[in-house]
Amino acid sequence: MAHAYVPEIAVDREGNEHVVQGWQDDFYGGKLGFWLFMLTEVMMFGGMFLALAYYNTLHPQDFLDASASLNRLLGGTNTVILLISALTMGLGLLKMRAGDVKGSKLMIWATILLAVLFLVIKGFEWTAEYNHGIFLMHGEMLPESTMAFGKKLFFGMYFTMTGLHGFHIIIGIGLMIWLLKRINAGKVSPEHYILHFNIALYWDIVHLIWVFVFPYYYMIGAATGGTSGH
């Protein structure tokens, strides 16, 4: 296992020794790999933001109106929740590196709780929108409804992107539970915390995406005097 790994030595012509980097114990390799993975997430959500921005230029007024009807109070609360959860996640990592395993686990539990809270609030929001006749394959979103094209596109993208973001939150919760199991099994420790580090990175990208999703969906219509909530 990783603990027993002894790196090989290469010798140059002058007889100097050089450590050979192996894949078995490569903290920076693991970090680099996860940063690259986050780049793919950025490209993926970037593609959707591109489509969103394109339709925004085609239907500017519809977008503002549709945005004004979203619930900014719940959306804003969720933003705060996610930002706090990013803080707890980061604190958990710091505690792990400082050797405080117990405190670290507590912070991970706090992050999980906040993530669940986020999903619950998201669920209330979606339910309210469903009751107002706005949901995928339902009410105003059906082909025969007369709602403006721009609004349909806005809400179509809204459910797709927040849905995909919510899916990332669920995966994140799964990852954190797995992380707790690994910590309990002693596989993640103050000496070997690459998994913890990468899951913290993952949680960063999840909240970072939300930081862009929130203003683009909830805030652009705020200035038009739409009501906060329904």
Partner 1 sequence: MSKTYFDETHCAIGHPKSTFMQWMLTIDHKRIGIMYAAVMFTFFFVAVATAFLMRLELFAPGQQYIDGDTFNQAFTLHGVIMIFLFIVPGIPAIFGNIVMPLMIGAKDVSFPRLNWFTFWLYILGCIIAVSSLWVGNGFADTGWTFYAPYSLNTGTNVIFTLVAAFILGMASILTGLNFLVTIHRLRAPGMTFFKMPLFVWGIYATAWIQLLATPVVGITLVLAIMEKYFGIGIFDPAKGGDPVLFEHLFWIYSHPAVYLMILPAFGIMSEIIPVFSRREIFGYRTIALSSASIAGIGYLVWGHHLYTSGMADIAKTVFSFLTFFVAIPTGIKFYDWIATMYKGKIVLSTPMLWALGTIITFAIGGLTGVTIAMIGVDIHLQDTYYTVAHFHYAMLGGVVFLLFAGMHYWFPLVTGKMYDEEKAKIAFYLNFIGFNLLWFPMFIAGYLGMPRRYFDYLPEFQIYHQISFFGAIIFIVGLVYMFYVLIQGWRKGEKVGVNPWRATTLEWHLPSSPPPLENHSKVPYVDFDPYEYFHGEPVVKFDANMRRID
* Interior/surface letters 161-175, b for 16+ CB within 10 angstroms, e for the rest: bbeebbebbeebbee
In the complex, minimum distance from the CB of residue 23 to partner 1, in angstroms, rounded to a whole number: 5
The pairing of beta strand 17-19 with beta strand 134-135 = unpaired
Question: What is the x/- site pattern for partner 1, positions 54-73, by CB under 8 A?
Answer: xx--xx--------------
Q: Which two tokens stand for residue 98?
A: 């400082």
How many other CB atoms are found less than 10 A from the CB of residue 71? 19
Question: What is the x/- site pattern for partner 1, positions 140-169, by CB under 8 A?
Answer: -xxx----xxx-xx--xx-xx---x-----
Residue 7 or 229 with smaller CB distance to partner 1: 7
Task: Transcribe 114-147 into DSSP letters.
Answer: HHHHHHHHHHHHHHHHHHTTEETTEETTSTT--S
In this chain, which stretch among 29-37, 94-102, 190-198, 207-215 interacts with partner 1, using CB under 8 A? 29-37
Residue 40 or 127 with smaller CB distance to partner 1: 40
In this chain, which stretch among 13-21, 78-86, 99-107, 119-127 interacts with partner 1, using CB under 8 A? 13-21
Q: Give the angle subtended at the CA of 127 by the CAs of 121 and 131, to the nearest 5°.
A: 150
In the complex, minimum distance from the CB of residue 128 to partner 1, in angstroms, rounded to a whole number: 19
- Distance CA(16)–CA(191), nearest Å, equals 29
212 near partner 1, rule: CB under 8 A: no
Reported residue count of the chain is: 230
Instruction: Report the interface residues with partner 1, using CB under 8 A.
Output: 8, 10-13, 18-23, 26, 28-29, 32-33, 36-37, 39-41, 43-48, 50-51, 54-55, 58-59, 136-137, 141-143, 148-150, 152-153, 156-157, 159-160, 164
